[in-house]
C-alpha cells in the first residue's frame, strides 16, 4: 500500500512539473495557441507515464555508488530527451529549430527541479531525525545524572 | 532436564551454574545471553573468536558474500548471513539501513541528506555509512519520529 501511495504521489508531482513546463512554454512562445483540454491533459498523462517508466534506469540489485547514481542520472536525462522530444514534436508542442532547444531546456529544468524537490524533502527528514537523536541523547544524560 | 533454583541471602553474589554435556549447545548460549541480559554475536579475527554484545556493534555489513561486524575501532568476520543477523537484532536498536547493512541507531551522531536521494549517517566514531531511502522510514519509526 505504501509503495502504491508513493508512486501515486510521484505521478502527481511529475504531472504537475510537466504541466507547468508545458504551460509556460506555450505562454512564452505561443500564447495564441489553443489546446483542447481533454487531449492536452491526456497527453500530459502519457508524458508523465513515460517519465516515471524511465526511472527504471535507476533499478539495481546492488546499492548504487554516488558515481553510478550520477551516470544513471545523465542516462535518465538523455532517455527523457530522446523519447519526449520526438513525441512532443509529433503532438505539435514544438515546431522550429529554436523551439527544440527551449523544449530540451525545459526537460532539463524539470529533471533538476525533481532532484531539488527530492533533496529538500530529504533535508527535512534528516532535520527531524537529528532533532530526535539530540532529544534521545539529552534524555539518556538526564537519566544517568 | 532438572532445574534447580536456590534462594540466597542479599549479601551473596547471584550466580548461575550450568551443568551440561555440550558447553556450545544452543540452549547454553541462550542461558548465557539471558544471564548477561544481552544478545551476543561471535566475531572472528585472526583465528580468535570474540563474543560481542549487540550494544557494542556499530554496524554489520555483507561484502562479497562475507559478513563483517564493525565495532568502535575493530572489524570482525561473522558467520551469520544478513537475514540471520537481522533476525537476531529484532527488537533491538539495530535496523536494516541498506541492501547489505544493518546499523545501530544508538551509534548515529547525525544524518545528512545527499543529492542521490540517500542519507549519510555519521557515526560516533566518525565513520560514514549510507542509509537507503527505502529504510529511512524504519529509522524514523525506531527513533520515534
What band does B112 get if pLDDT is binned at 50, 70 and 90? very high
Residue B85 in 3-state DSSP?
helix
What band does A102 get if pLDDT is binned at 50, 70 and 90? confident
* Predicted local distance difference test score (pLDDT) of residue B33: 67
Per-residue pLDDT averaged across A68-81, rounded? 92
Q: Hey, what domains does chain B have and what are their CATH numbers?
A: 26-143 (2.40.50.1020)
Task: Give the Cα-Cα-Cα angle B136, B132, A139 (nearest 5 degrees).
Answer: 35
Pairwise CB contact (< 8 Å): B110 & A130: yes
Q: Which of A23, A28, A46, A35 is nearest to A98 (CA)?
A: A28
Q: How far is CA B34 from CA A13, A141, B20, in A?
A: 51, 26, 17
- Numbered residues of chain A with Cβ closer than 8 Å to any chain B Cβ: 2, 61-64, 66, 69-70, 115, 118-119, 122-123, 125-126, 128-130, 132-133, 136
What band does B103 get if pLDDT is binned at 50, 70 and 90? very high
Q: Which residues contact A126 (CB under 8 A, 6 or more apart)?
A: B110, B111, B112, B113, B119
Quote the pTM value: 0.71
What band does A144 get if pLDDT is binned at 50, 70 and 90? low
Pairwise CB contact (< 8 Å): A66 & B116: yes
* Predicted local distance difference test score (pLDDT) of residue B36: 62
Cell 560481542 belongs to residue: B52
Per-residue pLDDT averaged across B21-40, rounded? 74
Cβ-based burial of B130 (10 A; exposed 0-12, middle 13-18, buried ≥19): buried
For B110, the closest of A66, A118, A133 (CB atoms) is A133
Amino acid at each position: 500500500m505504501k509503495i502504491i501511495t508513493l508512486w501515486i504521489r510521484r505521478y502527481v508531482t511529475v504531472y504537475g512539473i510537466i504541466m507547468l513546463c508545458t504551460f509556460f512554454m506555450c505562454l512564452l512562445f505561443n500564447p495564441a495557441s489553443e489546446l483542447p483540454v481533454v487531449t492536452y491533459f491526456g497527453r500530459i498523462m502519457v508524458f508523465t507515464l513515460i517519465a516515471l517508466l524511465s526511472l527504471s534506469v535507476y533499478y539495481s540489485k546492488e546499492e548504487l555508488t554516488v558515481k553510478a547514481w550520477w551516470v544513471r542520472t545523465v542516462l535518465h536525462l538523455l532517455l527523457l530527451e530522446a523519447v519526449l522530444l520526438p513525441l512532443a514534436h509529433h503532438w505539435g508542442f514544438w515546431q522550429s529549430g529554436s523551439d527544440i532547444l527551449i523544449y530540451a531546456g525545459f526537460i532539463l529544468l524539470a529533471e533538476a527541479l525533481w532532484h531539488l524537490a527530492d533533496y529538500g524533502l530529504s533535508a527535512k527528514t534528516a532535520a527531524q531525525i537529528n532533532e530526535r537523536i539530540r532529544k534521545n541523547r539529552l534524555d539518556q544524560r538526564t537519566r544517568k545524572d | 532436564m532438572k532445574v534447580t533454583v536456590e534462594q540466597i541471602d542479599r549479601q551473596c553474589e547471584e550466580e548461575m551454574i550450568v551443568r551440561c554435556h555440550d558447553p556450545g549447545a544452543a540452549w547454553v548460549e541462550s542461558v548465557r545471553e539471558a544471564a548477561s541480559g544481552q544478545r551476543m554475536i561471535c566475531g572472528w579475527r585472526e583465528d580468535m573468536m570474540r563474543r560481542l554484545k549487540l550494544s557494542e556493534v556499530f554496524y554489520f555489513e555483507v561484502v562479497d558474500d562475507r559478513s563483517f561486524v564493525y565495532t568502535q575501532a575493530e572489524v570482525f568476520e561473522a558467520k551469520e548471513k544478513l537475514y540471520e543477523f537481522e533476525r537476531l537484532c529484532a527488537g533491538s536498536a539495530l535496523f536494516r539501513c541498506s541492501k547489505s547493512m544493518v546499523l545501530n541507531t544508538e551509534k548515529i551522531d547525525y544524518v545528512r541528506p545527499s543529492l542521490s536521494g540517500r542519507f549519510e549517517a555519521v557515526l560516533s566514531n566518525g565513520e560514514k555509512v549510507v542509509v537507503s531511502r527505502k529504510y529511512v522510514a524504519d529509522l524514523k519509526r525506531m527513533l520515534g519520529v
